[in-house]
Amino acid sequence: MPIVSPTAPVILWLRRELRMHDNPALVAAIASGRPVLPLFILDRETPGRWAPGGASLWWLHHSLVSLGESLEKAGAKLILRRGAAVEVLRHLVHEVGAAEIHAGRAIEPWARKVMDEVVSTSGAKLHLHRTALLYEPDGIRTQSGGAYGVFTPFSRACLARGAPDKPLSAPLSFKGVSAPSDELADWKLLPARPDWAAGLRARWVPGEAGAAQRLKRVVADVVKGYDQTRNFPGQDGTSALSPRLHWGELSPGQIWHAVEGIESKGRTTFVNELLWREFSANLLWHHPDLPEKPLRPEFAAMPWRRDAAGLRAWQRGQTGIPLVDAGMRQLWNTGWMHNRVRMVVASFLIKHLLLPWQDGEAWFWDTLVDADLASNSAQWQWVAGSGADAAPYFRVFNPVLQGWKFDPKGDYVRRWVPELARLPDKALQNPWDASEEELAAAGVRLGETYPRPIVDLAAGRARALEAFAGLNKAA
Ligand SMILES: Cc1cc2nc3c(=O)[nH]c(=O)nc-3n(C[C@H](O)[C@H](O)[C@H](O)COP(=O)(O)OP(=O)(O)OC[C@H]3O[C@@H](n4cnc5c(N)ncnc54)[C@H](O)[C@@H]3O)c2cc1C
């Protein structure tokens, strides 16, 4: 064992806990009594195909700016390094003579391997802290010690643990230590040619301060009636905290405690959704190939179609099904999509178009600002019917009925599919049923100003049911 000097620094390796408040890794690093070197590594090599997508990188850039400013105020500089995380850490430990590394516990399979390799090769002691979840990813187990495969008993087991610890305060100042750092601008995380991020800039204020501000708003205006409003994509009825949670500008514990005093069904439903996030993390922990392979193995034999033109139409919001197109355009424009519409567009891709769920998962990965390996793969598998506690295969969301029910006045479709805006409510979700007069009065020419449906909904549904039923028979 090399002798470590009493003044040797500790490395605070920040990954998905880009905040000062309620950050157990930061607090523990300071409590070591040694100077702290806060580090972020841009590692595009180790995650392979699960390196962050374009929209995530846009968010990351702004979140790092915000964190860098906060750390600077507290007396430390955020050090940026690029490369394979294990190599960067090994090098940096040696370079600054670090005694210890403090980091958040990661759940992504590649990140777990990095943690193991860091321990075995860097020579510094690695301390892992729970920074991103309410519970340790393997901490909630069945009575026989196994992993939960069904959400309701999982959530009951979580709630039986009681409230999570009260959030930790942000340190006002601490002793930092510096080292050469990359310039954030050189990482080129922001799109330049073309700059497709105007809609993201208009929609979001990334960073810890923006997250705290949004949480305040959510507590004041959203949570109480959340059980009602959460289903209506035309309303500001959900928290929109998902990208902040993904990058850790807020901890789930901060959210839990912020809503604790609100006595309403809305709060119960809202906390339940936070537990779906925990459930997804739990699933990924126990099934590291969740992003690639169906959890139910018989789904590997699914006779998926290959249809590049259909996939492109779906990605671009040009399917001719208004609610699907509205969702896909909201995603492209803002990097986010309402949960109900995520279910509808996913069901449309998997069932009506009979295209592999992995194609949709990959598109979401690149375009969502909240792209999260656990939630994204668990949810795509949930819609496909191949996942844990998944929707049954015969549940095929009808996008027209969903539109009538959850976008009854058409606010959402009119906003994202403006070429249909002048249609009357009764024709908005299904313009192909409108009369010639209605279409003409609204300035809609199907096949010209807006596409005809790329699939007949009834025929697509029947084809999916047949394919899925065949699978079940074969199993
Ligand atoms: C096909 C598909 C893909 C998805 N991909 C992602 C993803 O990559 N990243 C992601 O964070 N969520 C994903 N979700 C879950 C959900 O749609 C989003 O978390 C939610 O829409 C985010 O908006 P919000 O913050 O306003 O959520 P709210 O309704 O306000 O919920 C509060 C928080 O609970 C969590 N949450 C809510 N619903 C779910 C859920 N079904 N599963 C897991 N956590 C949930 C989120 O962290 C969310 O921020 C996906 C859902 C589907 C159907």
Q: What is the DSSP string of 379-442?
A: HHHHHHT-STTPPPTT----HHHHHHHHSTT-HHHHHH-GGGTTS-HHHHS-GGGS-HHHHHHH
- Cβ atoms of 14 and 25 closer than 8 Å: yes
pLDDT at 3: 61
Give me the residues paired with residue 100 across strands: 10, 125
Give the closest residue (by CA) to ligand 1 atom 6: 376
Distance CA 176, CA 192 (A): 34
Tell me the pLDDT band of 116, cut-offs 50, 70 and 90: confident
Of 154, 226, 361, 370, best ligand 1 pocket probe by most atoms within 8 Å of the beta carbon: 370
Catalytic residue status for 339? yes
* CA 242 to ligand 1 center in whole angstroms: 6
Which of the residues 59, 380, 382, 416 is marked catalytic? 380
pLDDT average, residue stretch 124-151: 93
Tell me the pLDDT band of 327, cut-offs 50, 70 and 90: very high
Distance CA 238, CA 338 (A): 8
Label residue 176 exposed, middle or buried (CB < 10 Å: 0-12, 13-18, 19+). buried
Eight-state DSSP code of residue 176? B
Catalytic residue status for 361? no
Backbone φ, ψ for residue 196 (5° rounding): -95, 10
* CA 147 to ligand 1 center in whole angstroms: 22
Tell me the pLDDT band of 303, cut-offs 50, 70 and 90: very high
pLDDT at 464: 96
Query: Parallel, antiparallel, or unpaired: how do β-strands 36-42 and 79-82 relate?
Result: parallel
pLDDT at 475: 63
Ligand 1 atom closest to the Cα of residue 274 is 34
Give the closest residue (by CA) to ligand 1 atom 49: 242
Tell me the pLDDT band of 474, cut-offs 50, 70 and 90: low
pLDDT average, residue stretch 169-196: 96
Catalytic residue status for 472? no
Determine what percent of the chain is predicted with pLDDT higher than 90: 91
Tens digit of pLDDT for each residue in 51-76?
999 999 999 999 999 999 999 999 99
Eight-state DSSP code of residue 5? P
Residue pointed to by tokens 């610890």? 165
pLDDT at 377 over 90: yes
Which residue segments constitute the domains of the chain, with CATH numbers given? Answer: 10-132 (3.40.50.620), 133-166+207-286 (1.25.40.80), 297-474 (1.10.579.10)
pLDDT at 4: 67
pLDDT at 5: 76
Distance CA 460, CA 475 (A): 23
Give the three-state DSSP class for 41: strand
Tell me the pLDDT band of 120, cut-offs 50, 70 and 90: confident
Give the H or E element holding residue 129.
Answer: strand 125-129
pLDDT at 2: 56
More confident residue, 393 or 398: 398
Reading the block at residue 283, the tokens are 């699933």
Q: Which residues line ligand 1 (CB under 6 A)?
A: 230, 238-242, 245-246, 273-274, 276-277, 280, 339, 342-343, 346, 364, 368, 370-372, 375-376, 379-380, 383
Distance CA 61, CA 67 (A): 10
Give the H or E element holding residue 100.
Answer: strand 100-104
Reading the block at residue 39, the tokens are 């580090």
pLDDT average, residue stretch 307-312: 98
pLDDT average, residue stretch 316-320: 98
Catalytic residue status for 13? no
Give the three-state DSSP class for 445: coil
pLDDT at 118: 85
Closest CA to 224 of 215, 214, 235, 237: 237
Q: List strand residue ranges (DSSP E) for 202-350, in order.
A: none
Residue pointed to by tokens 């909630």? 140
Distance CA 62, CA 159 (A): 34
Tens digit of pLDDT for each residue in 439-468?
999 999 999 999 999 999 999 999 999 998
Catalytic residue status for 282? no
pLDDT at 251 over 90: yes
pLDDT average, residue stretch 189-209: 97
The per-residue pLDDT of the chain, averaged, comes to 95
Which of the residues 59, 314, 357, 382 is marked catalytic? 357
pLDDT at 380 over 90: yes
